[in-house]
């Protein structure tokens, strides 16, 4: 049971359901191990989505838990297959860092996102030229990778425009508006896109002004993902000085939720935020 990359949305879903079934059967992990011949540590890792179990292992567990309905068994076993990623991401997955690739899969499945950004415009609201300039001027990325990663960012934005769009709540530091990326003309077009995005019913955009001074959002950007399926617990993708990480523990998610709420208290209302973005755009003309 080797896991080569962070868990997919389906693996997390399967792990949560197997744990629920075990609890409903009034069995402890040690008892499951005794009755199936599996190692107790394997049960623990399966239920935490730390390992992808083999099909026969899941079948054995379903037998023990009394899951006899053929349709239900087929659904749970189907979660072992390819995580159902959208077609376009499969083309880029081999070139993407593992955690980032996993995050993109989670993002595609998300019902709502809460995003803090203290340095740059979040990927879901970037223009392609802003993304390319940012990627080119940031880490040492070869031109072909810049093009690929920019393309991935543009595809990711489709979740905001699908028939049932994802809800996005973004809180920007004013520095994001004032920092010119690429050129004044390029930045003006990027700010215009932010203004247009702020007018969409599924997007809430707020700005923390410089007048608020130091705030928690300056310690690192993060995005919180919530899912429609109750079997998919929320998670956090955090980007800080120590690198990027996916946080799944309930206590970690709760801590980031509290931080987000605190940052929101310092942000301007959406209407005033949109006015500030428009002002920043005019200053570049």
Q: For residues 99 and 108, is the Cβ–Cβ distance under 8 A?
A: no
The parts of the chain modelled with pLDDT lower than 70 are 1-8, 82-97, 138-144, 240-243
Structure confidence at residue 82 (pLDDT)? 56
Closest CA to 205 of 195, 192, 220: 195
Say how many Å lie between the first and final Cα of the chain, rounded.
58
CA distance 91 to 87: 8
CA distances (Å), origin 136, targets 9, 139, 141, 157, 176: 31, 7, 6, 20, 18
Domain 9-78 has CATH 1.10.260.40: yes
The pTM of the full predicted model, rounded to 2 decimals, is: 0.76
Domain residue spans of the chain:
9-78, 87-282
Helix H or strand E segment including 170: strand 167-173
SS3 224: strand
CA distance 133 to 120: 12
CATH for 87-282 (3.30.870, 3.10.450, 3.40.50, 1.10.150): 3.30.870
Structure confidence at residue 109 (pLDDT)? 86
DSSP structure string for 46-106 = HHTTSS---HHHHHHHHHHTT---HHHHHHHHHTTS-----HHHHHHGGGS-HHHHHHHHH
Helix H or strand E segment including 255: helix 250-265
- DSSP class of 7: P
């Amino acid at each position: 049971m080797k896991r080569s990359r962070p868990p997919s949305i389906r693996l997390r879903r399967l792990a949560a359901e197997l744990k629920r079934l075990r609890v409903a059967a009034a069995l402890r992990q040690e008892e499951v191990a005794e009755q199936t011949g599996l190692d107790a540590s394997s049960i623990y890792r399966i239920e935490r989505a730390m390992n992808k179990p083999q099909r026969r292992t899941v079948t054995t567990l379903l037998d023990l838990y009394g899951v006899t309905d053929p349709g239900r068994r087929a659904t749970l076993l189907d979660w072992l297959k390819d995580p159902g990623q959208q077609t376009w991401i499969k083309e880029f997955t081999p070139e993407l860092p593992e955690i980032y690739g996993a995050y993109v899969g989670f993002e595609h499945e998300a019902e709502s996102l809460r995003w803090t950004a203290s340095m740059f415009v979040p990927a879901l609201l970037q223009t392609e030229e802003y993304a390319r300039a940012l990627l080119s001027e940031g880490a040492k990325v070869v031109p072909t990778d810049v093009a690929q990663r920019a393309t991935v960012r543009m595809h990711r934005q489709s979740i905001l425009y699908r028939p049932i769009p994802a809800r996005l709540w973004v809180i920007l530091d004013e520095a994001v508006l004032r920092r010119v990326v690429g050129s004044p003309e390029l930045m003006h077009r990027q700010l215009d896109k932010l203004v247009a995005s702020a007018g969409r019913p599924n997007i809430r955009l707020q700005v923390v002004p410089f007048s608020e001074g130091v705030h928690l959002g300056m310690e690192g950007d993060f995005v919180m993902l919530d899912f429609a399926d109750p079997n998919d617990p929320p998670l956090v993708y955090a980007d800080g000085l120590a690198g990027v990480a996916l946080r799944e523990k309930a206590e970690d998610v709760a801590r980031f939720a509290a931080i987000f709420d605190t940052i929101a208290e310092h942000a301007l209302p959406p209407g005033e935020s949109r006015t500030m973005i428009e002002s920043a755009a005019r200053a570049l003309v």
